[in-house]
Chain A
Amino acid sequence: MTVAERQLESTRQPDPDVSLPVIAPHQSFAGVTDQISSAVLTTKTPIPWFVAFAFALCLVGVFVCAITWIFAKGVGVFGIEIPVAWGFAITNFVWWIGIGHAGTLISAFLLLLNQSWRSSINRFAEAMTIFAVMCAGMFPLLHLGRPWLFYWLLPYPNTMTIQPQFRSPLVWDVFAVSTYFTVSLLFWYLGMIPDLGTLRDRAKSTFARFVYGVLSWGWRGSNGHWRLHETASLLLAGLATPLVLSVHTVVSFDFTIAILPGWHSTIFPPYFVAGAIFSGFAMVLVLAIPIRAVYGLQNLLTERHLNNCAKLMLATGLIVAYTYLIEPFTAWYSGDQFEMYMVHNRAVGPHAWTYWGVIFCNVVVPQLLWFRKMRITPKPLFWISIAILYGMWLERYMIIITALHRDFVPSSWSNFIATLWDNLALYGSIGMFLFLFMLFIRFLPMISMYEVRTLLPFSGIHGASQK
Chain B
Amino acid sequence: MSAAVQLYGVVAEFEDPTPLVDAARAARAQGYNKVEAYTPYPVEALADILESKKSLPLIVLIGGILGFLTAWSMEYYIAVIDYPTNIGGRPLNSWPSFIVIMFELTILFASIFAFFGMLALCGLPMPHHPMFNLRRFDHASADHFFLCIEARDPLFETGAATELLNRFEPLQVWTVDDD
Contacts and interface: CB of A to CB of B under 8 A. Distances in A.
B174 interface: no
B162 interface: no
A142 to B, nearest CB: 23
A164 B78 CA distance: 8
B107 A463 contact: no
Interface stretch (A238-246, A287-295, A417-425): A238-246
Contact of A182 (B90, B111, B129): B111
Contacts of A462: 44-45
**Contact residues of A: prevailing secondary structure:** helix
B36 A453 contact: no
Interface string B154-177: 000000000000000000000000
A3 B87 CA distance: 73
A458 interface: yes
A223 B37 contact: yes
Contacts of A239: 60, 107, 110-111, 114
A298 interface: no
- Looking at B17, B41, B78, B103, the one whose CB has the most chain A CB atoms below 10 A away is B41
B69 interface: no
Given A228-B121, A235-B57, A463-B48, A166 B101 contact: yes
B6 interface: no
Interface stretch (A15-23, A211-219, A301-309): A211-219
A112 interface: no
A336 interface: no
B142 A202 contact: yes
Contacts of A335: none
Contact of B125 (A179, A218, A246): A218
A462 B21 CA distance: 10
Contact of B143 (A29, A243, A250): A29
Nearest to B87: A167
A197 interface: yes
Contacts, number: 200
Contacts of A214: 127
Interface stretch (A93-101, A124-132, A170-178, A310-318): A170-178
Interface string A439-467: 00000000000110110001101110010
B142 A171 contact: no
A182 B115 CA distance: 11
Nearest to B24: A223
Interface stretch (A155-163, A388-396, A427-435): A155-163
A441 to B, nearest CB: 20
Nearest to B100: A172
A33 interface: yes
Nearest to A466: B45
B124 A219 contact: yes
Contacts of B15: 3-4
B40 interface: yes
B57 A182 contact: no
Contacts of B153: none
B127 A33 contact: no
Contacts of A219: 124, 141
3 nearest CB pairs, A to B: A201-B138, A29-B143, A232-B118
Given A218-B129, A242-B107, 16 more contacts: A33-B143, A155-B78, A165-B85, A167-B87, A169-B100, A179-B104, A183-B107, A224-B53, A224-B122, A232-B56, A232-B118, A235-B57, A253-B100, A450-B40, A454-B42, A466-B45
